[in-house]
Structure 1
Amino acid sequence: MRIIVSGGGTGGHIYPALAVVEDLLKQEPDSKVLYVGSKRGLESSIVPKQNIEFIPLEIQGFKRSLSLDNFKTVHLFLKSVRQAKKIIKEFKPDLVLGTGGYVSGAVVYAAARLKVPTMIHEQNSVVGLTNKFLSRFVDEIGIGFQDAAAQFPAEKVVFTGNPRAQQVANIHSDFSWTQFDLKDDVSTVLIFGGSQGAPKINQAVSEAINDFNDKDYQVVFVTGKKRYDSVLEKLRGQRISPNIAILPYIDNMPQVLPKVDLMVGRSGATSIAEITALGIPAILIPSPYVTADHQTKNTMSLVNAGAAEMIKEDDLTGQSLYLAVNTLMSDDVKRDQMAANSAKLGVPDAADRVLDAARSINR
């Protein structure tokens, strides 16, 4: 298969795309893959490291308020569509797949205008603006949450789950907590607010450190690289017992997650795909700073299934966090049930499903 993949801006769009590429190359090693992304998005640094051919386009998103900058956005979009058409004609793909982000809007739209088979994938329960626009033009639409189905043309929708889930589920982990001076035979809570860290989560954990000291479970607190020094400064003078590790970042999260007994963090689509693929009970703290409050809707899919508990950021304090964590870590039976419920939501063959849907497109 010859495939052009486009998705950008955030890891939530990039990693599902890379998971599909990885699965395709396992199934069909002779496949040719081209990734078209944005110059300024994370994909420009992530994708080339995967030894995937990468072409960048200059594009930007719309401002939600009236702004002269939106005229530049329209100009860049039309320019990117023209460039994408040229790329598509030269590469001659069998399929163009978009996983979200403004750059995928230009690339997938260009493909649809050229009558090339097209598919998009929506990771969240609330559909993004780009995928909403593209839904009128594409042949197939994969979704990661059933709640997204009603927001698309019904005849195009197929539930696939998030391809990242398959990538995580298939990893064999030989990770050991001993590298962080912790123990492998002790239950472990991972608290992680994302690669940049989350100030409100960091504040709550800092307030709860004394309560977490000397528990019979371990707490791994990941602050985010940019906020690590400020957290350590805030905790200066406080006793940190040996059952607690404070880290700036974990760059091999898929290896670490199988060793986690309770996950605490945000509820982006990628995070949810990862924890449900592995059946990890979770306390989710949805970010209130995302479009259409989609992380709360993502969270409720797990809460309603008995796979997670939710703390709204407005209700997040050191005390509320400690009580939620300690209650679950003191109840193995409830955690086991949550884990089983989480695993039922996982889609360990999600990348396969995306490829099957793509291959089914007929013109």
Structure 2
Amino acid sequence: MTGIVFAGGGTAGHTSPLIATAHAVTELDHDVRVTAIGTARGLETRVVPAAGLPLELIDPVPMPRRPSGDLLKVPFRLRRAVNQARDVLRETEAKAVVGFGGYVAMPAYLAARSLKLPIVVHEQNAVPGLANKVAARFARHVTTTFPDTPLPGATMVGLPVRHEITELDRADRRDDAIRAYGLDPAQPVLLVSGGSQGAHSINTAVAGARDRLLARGISIIHVLGLRNISEADVDIDDEQSGAGYRPVGFVDAMADAYAAADLMLCRSGAGTVVETAVVGLPAIFVPLPHGNGEQARNLEVLLAADAGVQLVDAECTPDRLDTLVGELIMDRTRLAGMSERARDAVPGDADRRLAELIMSVIN
């Protein structure tokens, strides 16, 4: 049986394409044994086993954002993590390593190189991360989600997305999905999510606009993030309009949330940008204001197609949300046009395309 190790973790931006690609590989060849490498501090400890994939943990090697004593510890931590990753590659008899970035990717790439194993890199963001920049110099193949990602020799394949997303019929599942949240299908629904970690600015703005949006008859499904939800976050129903507010920490079945929504308010991580486009869910994107600017770059393909709306983080205020959401969610013609253009803007078969490339490497 052929072994392939997949490396990527930390957030859903890394784990979701990893899971989608691993499943696509096993669909192509049932004799392939896939194993994921992650760290104990990432979302992968929850979602990878839930997806039916074996997970091996190694120590994380975070890069300090500022010069400090921790910077001196990086070489020792990296050496230990590389040794741990090398042990996993040997134990699983891996024939290749497929990396998606994140803390865990660099040790896996270096371990694979030391064992002379072929490496396939996938970069989900328009601006690549450090691990994928390094690995692109010696990887067998480098693939990207977006067309202009600056990595040498890169091929755009799109972002691997799970079948429950690519095959989602939002119109067919809408009413049942809305009722599952205890909401009225006759009311428009706004889905809010700042990603797997949540987003403070979005959560704060929605909290301030919530009562006004409910009074307009707009129901809200609010994914606050596991670290942000508290006992004070409770269901609310507006007696006059009949609209409801449903706060949750995390959504495992994101396809149902997409199906329930008429409009989404969200960050613009690559996963969210591509998934909303694939299912045709119109969205207001609020790019993360710090970092290396990749979230704003991720949006370029949708903005060029007039398939999304960008809202600057500093302008994500209760008053602005009340006006923007209120106007957009009631404009059915505009929403339908955004939905159609979004579907045309991104590939929906990236999981298969990347899986075929991986199999060509080991065969």
TM-score with structure 1 length normalisation? 0.89
Runs of 4+ in 1 over 4 A off after TM superposition: 171-175, 230-233, 238-241
Q: Among the aligned pairs, what percent are the same residue?
A: 28
Shift of 1:69: 1.2
For 1:340, give the aligned amino acid: E
Is structure 2 residue 252 aligned with structure 1 residue 255? no
CA distance in 2, matches of 1:171, 1:239: 33
Alpha-carbon RMSD: 2.6
State the secondary structure of the residue aligned to 1:29: coil
The residue that corresponds to 1:286 in the other structure is 287
Contact kept in structure 2, 1:166 and 1:348, CA below 8 Å: no
Contact kept in structure 2, 1:260 and 1:280, CA below 8 Å: yes
CA distance in 1, matches of 2:36, 2:274: 22
Structure 2's unaligned 5+ residue stretches are none
CA distance in 2, matches of 1:35, 1:268: 22
CA distance in 2, matches of 1:108, 1:171: 34
For 2:160, give the aligned amino acid: P
Distance 1:215 1:35, change over 3 A: same
Is structure 2 residue 158 aligned with structure 1 residue 161? yes
Distance 1:339 1:94, change over 3 A: same
Q: In the comparison of the two structures, how many residue pairs are matched? A: 357
Contact kept in structure 2, 1:19 and 1:351, CA below 8 Å: yes
For 2:178, give the aligned amino acid: W
Contact kept in structure 1, 2:25 and 2:356, CA below 8 Å: no
Counterpart mapping for 1:39-188 below 5 A: 39-148=40-149, 151-154=150-153, 157-164=154-161, 166-171=163-168, 174=173, 175-188=176-189
CA distance in 2, matches of 1:240, 1:51: 45
Contact kept in structure 2, 1:8 and 1:103, CA below 8 Å: yes
CA distance in 1, matches of 2:243, 2:183: 7
For 1:358, give the aligned amino acid: I
Shift of 1:138: 0.5
Structure 1's unaligned 5+ residue stretches are none
Contact kept in structure 2, 1:8 and 1:43, CA below 8 Å: yes
TM-score with structure 2 length normalisation? 0.89
CA distance in 2, matches of 1:295, 1:55: 29
Distance 1:362 1:328, change over 3 A: same
Shift of 1:331: 1.7
State the secondary structure of the residue aligned to 1:9: coil
CA distance in 2, matches of 1:4, 1:210: 48
For 1:140, give the aligned amino acid: H
Distance 1:30 1:185, change over 3 A: farther
Q: 1:187-237, CA deviations, whole angstroms, 9 ceiling, x for partnerless residues?
A: 32212223443222222222223321343543333333443448649x99x
